[in-house]
Structure 1
Amino acid sequence: MRPALWHLTLSAYLAGVALAAHADQEGRQLFISVVPACALCHTLKDAGATGAVGPSLDELKPDAPRVAKAVRNGIGQMPAFPQLTEAQVQALARYVEEATRSSAPTAGEHRRPH
Structure 2
Amino acid sequence: MAKNLGMEVRKAPRSRCRIASKVRYFQQEAAGRIIDISRTGLAIELSTGLNAGAGSTVAIETDEIGLLEGIVRWNYSGRLGIMFRPNSNAAAKVDAYFRNFHREYRPVLAR
What is the TM-score normalised by the length of structure 2? 0.28
What is the TM-score normalised by the length of structure 1? 0.28
Q: Using CA pairs below 8 Å that are at least 6 residues apart, which structure has the higher relative contact order? A: 1
Bigger radius of gyration: 1
